[in-house]
Structure 1
Amino acid sequence: NGILKNEFLLSRPADLAQAREIVKESVAIYNHERPHLALKYKTPDDVHQAFYRQKTVNLYQD
């Protein structure tokens, strides 16, 4: 993925374990912290949560 290489992989990992950790952290940042232009500067997590809340029925609504 270009974003992974260009934004998160700033140096070569020392080993496979470090590479896996970098990818794991990068995916978390990408999904939970990094705003996306295509999502109107929201994170994928924000969009997912809003969609889930919209689809949930509130049984206690007046």
Structure 2
Amino acid sequence: MSIFPEDDRPKPKSVHEIGQDLSMLSLAEIDLRVEALKAEIERLAEARAKKDASRSAADAFFRKPG
């Protein structure tokens, strides 16, 4: 157990911020960010599909007969 509150620790800087100035980035840095964002899009799509399946199952379970 730490004597310091955990929420006071600095948060790690994200790879990319939406709307961030891109003019000072190299091609390699842009490529890395594109790959990171593609991976995040895939992760979001998977999470959405899971939530959609859960919702569909709940809707089917609670649907009124007839």
Which has the higher relative contact order, 1 or 2, with Cα contacts under 8 A spaced 6 or more apart? Answer: 2
Q: TM-score range by the shorter chain?
A: 0.3 to 0.5
TM-score by length of 2: 0.37
TM-score by length of 1: 0.39
